[in-house]
Structure 1
Amino acid sequence: DVSKCPSDTLVFEDESEKASNALLARAWSPGWSNADKALTAFINGPLIEYSKNRRKADSATTSFLSPHLHFGELSVKKVFHLVRIKQILWANEGNKAGEESVNLFLKSIGLREYSRYISFNHPYSHERPLLGHLKFFPWVVNEGYFKAWRQGRTGYPLVDAGMRELWATGWLHDRIRVVVSSSFVKVLQLP
């Protein structure tokens, strides 16, 4: 029972995590007003070239709205509404690239919502597969593999760089997120 343990004996972070946690505290600005600023900055900045730059993992080409959406500082309806207004303005100006960027961005928001829907309506999906035939897959339960993946020490440079970025910033570009999660499941075969 944790409540009976003296607080000085509980270890919430080890020495290797302290630097990362300090960086995280500086990386994000929580709160409704900061969420609104981030949304406005995205709509008036990178959104117009989202279709061209969204796959570039080496620069700030995405919205960075994920934490604000996750913690309820922004609603998906608000994001959709303001982005659609921008799309209508671009349509009136004949800006086809802007319109395409909005379509792709809203598609990615839709995929995010679909994932949340699956997670909410199938809560067991975090512990067992949705597809029955995968129930008997020979997963490798190896704490060493998991620790190496988590610390960015797998030996796969892109995976390791992605995990170190996650430790440093609390965020991953969606393309890198796919790479690190795929390596977890398909290469390391961790459950």
Structure 2
Amino acid sequence: MAGKPSTSPSARRRGTSRAAGPAGSTRTAGALELDALIGDPATQIIVCCGSGGVGKTTTSAALALRAAEQGRRVCVLTIDPARRLAQAMGLTELDNVPRPVSDVDPSAGGSLDAMMLDMKRTFDEVVESHATPEKAQQILNNPSYVAISSSFAGTQEYMAMEKLGQLHAASNDPGAAEGGTQGWDLIVVDTPP
């Protein structure tokens, strides 16, 4: 019977079935439709997570590139201190400042920026945004602050969420798109192992 899903024993265990597609090809029913996910304007943040070595960085880079080539304005943020995302994106430098990725086909109108969380710099930005310049300088120079901001348990995770919040807020700023690299409509997050 053409077009009728067949279910193999392994597919039954996974809860999926194979269905005939165009020209006799098959696809897994229930598989994640990535183009639909990254093409949906309601999708604003994608977080790639998992154990070390499962391909989070590669997946993040591929999703971000694919979304940009579909016309999305994308920022891919890595929280992993290893520099693999820079290598995957063909960049020599990656830090707390968004860097444009030039290997994006511009015909769809999308763009891609990449950045790496700088935990200390993000912590400093939080202080600077909530204190007067004089008070901020006083805090930033305090030895206790220096110790806490660079090694306190949970700081990396908190600063990652802070940076994600900053990026998302900047993306939702109506004037951000005219300002250059900001104004993303999709943020892809590459998490550490």
TM over 0.5: no
Q: Of Structure 1 and Structure 2, which has the larger fraction of its residues in strand?
A: 2
Greater share of helix residues, 1 or 2?
Answer: 1
Q: Give the TM-score normalised by the residue count of structure 1.
A: 0.30
Q: Which has the higher contact order (CA 8 A, sep 6+)?
A: 2
Please give the TM-score of this superposition, normalised by the length of structure 2: 0.30
